[in-house]
Each structure stands twice: as structure tokens, then as C-alpha cells.
């Protein structure tokens, strides 16, 4: 990375706010709203998320609800790709497929429309944050089931100590800001 690129990453990092005990006691929530609200930072983040995949022939970005919609939609535009929605259970109106995955306490389900991806389309999966990797792995399972060809995963933040990249099946992934769960530099 160049000095300028390092400066940009530090600027992005400074706009991630730690919110302790949200949404539950013990969780340190990484709030990206200040970054989204800063036009230079938002543009830089979208550019950096898209950059590694510029020459990968991405047909579709699959963005994970809800912050993955914001970042993924902008990345799709930057790559000249379409956008496919990975939503929480019960929110998609048409024929859908579902994938359950484990949370610390219980289970969650993500869904895609059955016609969101055509077999062989090249798909980049985008979300704001990689923690345990369960959500991204479930999104990948949906893309696989629809016959998509997963080019990789792009995250703004990775909580590195949680080892979530191991859940991504050895596929390429990029994370702009590796962080400790307390917000320090990993
Ligand atoms: P995981 O499935 O454990 O990798 O969790 C990733 C998903 O949960 C992403 O969609 C994140 O938006 C959200 N998430 C998990 N932990 C946090 C956190 N500490 N701060 C903000 N979002 C989080």
C-alpha cells in the first residue's frame, strides 16, 4: 500500500464508531454511519472495496441486508454490475430460497429470490463486517444453490480475532479494515 492509501485507511478507521452493549450487553457494535455520511470517505471506501474485483468480470454484487445493501449497491455501480438482494427471512415478495445458519443463541435465515442469479453468473458478495462468517457463508450457500460463480467476498471491516474467514470456503476475500473487537488495530 502507498502512504496515501494508508492515510485513507486510517481516515476510514477513524470514522468507525464503537457502540458498547448494542444491540445486546457485551457486544461492541461497529457503527459505520459516520463513514457513510462523509462524502470523501464513502467514495474512498466504495473504490477500495471494488478495486480488487475490477478485472474479474463481476456480473452481480450480492449484498447482505442491510448495510451490505448500501455498500454493495455502490460497489455494483462502480463495477458496472447488477445487484442481488440477500435478505432476512420473510421480506422478499416472490419465489425465494432460504438458508439457515447458526448464531451464538439460536438460528437465523437469509433468503434470495430464486431468479436473482442465472447459472454461471459471476457474483461478488458484499457486507459491512465479517465477524464469525456465518452470515457470509449462508449468503454464499444461496449463491451456490442458484448456480452462481462466486468471485469473492468484500467487507469493510473484519473482526480478525473471530476467525470468520475460515467459514468462506477458501474463496478470495478482502477486508479493508482489520479490527479487534474492542476497535483497536488487529
Ligand atoms: P457474522 O455472521 O458473525 O460474520 O456477523 C456478520 C453480520 O452481523 C454482518 O451482517 C454484520 O453487519 C453484523 N455484525 C456482527 N457483529 C457486528 C458488530 N460487532 N458490529 C456491527 N455489525 C455486526
Where do the domains of the chain lie?
3-179
pLDDT of residue 119: 98
Q: Which atom of ligand 1 is nearest to the CA of 67?
A: 12
Q: How confident is the model at residue 183 (pLDDT cuts 50, 70, 90)?
A: low
Q: Rounded mean pLDDT of 98-109? A: 92
User: Average per-residue pLDDT in the chain?
Assistant: 95
Best probe residue, ligand 1, of 24, 31, 129, 184 (max atoms within 8 Å of C-beta): 129
Residue 97 has pLDDT above 80, yes or no: yes
Residue 170 has pLDDT above 70, yes or no: yes
Quick count: other Cβ atoms within 10 Å of Cβ 81?
Answer: 24
* CA 145 to ligand 1 centroid distance, Å: 23
Residue 186 has pLDDT above 60, yes or no: no
Residues whose CB falls within 8 Å of the CB of residue 36, separated by 6 or more in sequence, listed in order: 42, 70
Cα–Cα distance, 141 to 146 (Å, whole number): 9
Start-to-end CA span in the chain (Å): 17
Q: How confident is the model at residue 105 (pLDDT cuts 50, 70, 90)?
A: confident
* CA 90 to ligand 1 centroid distance, Å: 20
> Is 3-179 a domain of CATH 3.40.50.2020?
yes
Q: 158 CB less than 6 Å from ligand 1?
A: no
* CA 130 to ligand 1 centroid distance, Å: 6
Tell me the CB-side half-sphere exposure of residue 167, using CA atoms within 13 A. 19
Q: Which atom of ligand 1 is nearest to the CA of 164?
A: 4
pLDDT digits (tens, 9 = 90+) for 114-127: 999 999 999 999 99
Q: 148 CB less than 6 Å from ligand 1?
A: no
Residue 71 has pLDDT above 70, yes or no: yes
Residue 185 has pLDDT above 80, yes or no: no
Q: 71 CB less than 6 Å from ligand 1?
A: no
Cα–Cα distance, 42 to 71 (Å, whole number): 9
Residue 75 has pLDDT above 70, yes or no: yes
Q: Rounded mean pLDDT of 133-147? A: 98
pLDDT of residue 6: 87
pLDDT of residue 180: 85
Amino acid at each position: 500500500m502507498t502512504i496515501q492509501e494508508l492515510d485513507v485507511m486510517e481516515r476510514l478507521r477513524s470514522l468507525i464508531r464503537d457502540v458498547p452493549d448494542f444491540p445486546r450487553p457485551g457486544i461492541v457494535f461497529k457503527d459505520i454511519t459516520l463513514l457513510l455520511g462523509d462524502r470523501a470517505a464513502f467514495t474512498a471506501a466504495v473504490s477500495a472495496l471494488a478495486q480488487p474485483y475490477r478485472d474479474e468480470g463481476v456480473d452481480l454484487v450480492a449484498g447482505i441486508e442491510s448495510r451490505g445493501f448500501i455498500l454493495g449497491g455502490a460497489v455494483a455501480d462502480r463495477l458496472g454490475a447488477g445487484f442481488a438482494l440477500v435478505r432476512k427471512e420473510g421480506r422478499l415478495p416472490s419465489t425465494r430460497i432460504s438458508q439457515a445458519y447458526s448464531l451464538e443463541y439460536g438460528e437465523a435465515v437469509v433468503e434470495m429470490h430464486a431468479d436473482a442469479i442465472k447459472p454461471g453468473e459471476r457474483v461478488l458478495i458484499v457486507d459491512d463486517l465479517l465477524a464469525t462468517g456465518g452470515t457470509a457463508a449462508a449468503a454464499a450457500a444461496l449463491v451456490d444453490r442458484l448456480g452462481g460463480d462466486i468471485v469473492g467476498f468484500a467487507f469493510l471491516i473484519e473482526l480478525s480475532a473471530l476467525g470468520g474467514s475460515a467459514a468462506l470456503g477458501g474463496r478470495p476475500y478482502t477486508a479493508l479494515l482489520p479490527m479487534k473487537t474492542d476497535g483497536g488495530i488487529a
